[in-house]
Chain A
């Protein structure tokens, strides 16, 4: 089993499974904060997937995408926090 195959058959499925678990949390919530945390974690897992994906395809170009994700993913968290802090009481 080469490294590529290992990643392909073991690592990526596990990462995908993690993604599904996190997404379940996103769906069940219950609060908006839970969803935001789940979203954040989804992206983090995505960065991981991209990293191993670049190994599978032997193209380091994909790391560039991960770089963007790493830098600005948390911005939506910031935005949602901002929302929670500022919103009216009725939602």
Chain B
């Protein structure tokens, strides 16, 4: 859409929303949020940017095709399920954790990486779908 106002605002809303999405992702284990919502918020950020600036600009911004996030995220999630199998001979998807929490994020363990994988998959999926639709409109 040819609106300077939207365009300008979206440029500032994008980082804000992205930041917010990471925030939602990381706190998911303790408070409402998590990979899905985080991923959805992040996708919405890019969608907004695309509405305002046109699809090609947003794609340039992303540098890679959004579809790339899908296998990447899947690998991360699946990998965090594998970690206990490979590392400790435990059943698939068993949570393995570092001993001490780190500030801001809290405990670091395989479920966290799993959730991050979810986050990326959701971004990849939403953006692939919406971008594809827009392009073929």
Contact = CB atoms under 8 A, between A and B. Distances in A.
Direct interface between A and B, CB < 8 A: yes
A75 interface: yes
A81 B20 CA distance: 25
Contacts of B51: 78-79, 82
Interface of B: 1, 6, 17, 20, 24, 31-33, 37, 41, 44, 47-48, 51, 137
Nearest to A74: B48
Interface in A36-91: 61, 64-65, 67-68, 71-72, 75, 78-79, 81-82, 85-86
B31 A81 contact: no
Interface residues of A, number: 14
A65 B32 contact: yes
B127 to A, nearest CB: 14
19 contacts: A61-B31, A65-B32, A67-B20, A68-B24, A68-B37, A68-B41, A71-B17, A71-B20, A72-B41, A72-B44, A75-B44, A78-B1, A78-B6, A78-B48, A79-B51, A81-B1, A82-B1, A82-B51, A85-B1
| Interface residues of chain A: helix, strand, loop or mixed (majority) | helix
Nearest to B3: A81
In this complex, the member of B17, B32, B44 whose beta carbon has the largest number of chain A beta carbons within 10 angstroms is B32
